[in-house]
Structure 1
Amino acid sequence: MRISSNTLVRDPDALRYDFSGGPLDIDQLERRFLIEAIKAARGNVSKAARMVGLNRGALRYRIERLQLEGVLDEASARASDAD
């Protein structure tokens, strides 16, 4: 399944997780979710924020809290290389 930056995926299978090994850490789930949004937005924080229903400041806060600055830098660099 390919997810474009402007498509809302409502595939219930896309959110299946295996709980047989015990509980999942909510921060890790949020981290994965935000990484995918940042990559899909090619490092554009405002666009990624819109994709996940946050304002830019709220996403920046989460990026810092979850230490995702490196992911943001990498996605931005890849977008620059592609242009």
Structure 2
Amino acid sequence: MNLDPTAIDDPWSAIAFVALIGYLVVVTWRSSRHAKATRRTLEHEVRPNSGSSLRDAVDRIDKRLADVEAYHARRRWWQRR
């Protein structure tokens, strides 16, 4: 087996090799684009905006929970008297 790149015995092997490398480059590029888009979507969801992000939903739940806890704390105080 000759590993010298200038000595190509079978041109179809070289074409197949170049096609394989090209395919791997395209797959890697598309995967990185998909990962970037997913990251952007996640970043958008964890930053508060006009009320539609996950962060806004968590903030609303946290406020409601604090209100419920305060209500029950006042009620327990009133019952202890």
What TM-score bracket applies, with the shorter chain setting the length?
under 0.3
- TM-score, normalization by structure 2: 0.27
- TM-score, normalization by structure 1: 0.26
Higher normalized contact order (CA 8 Å, seq sep 6+, divided by chain length): 1
Which structure dedicates a bigger proportion of its chain to helix? 2
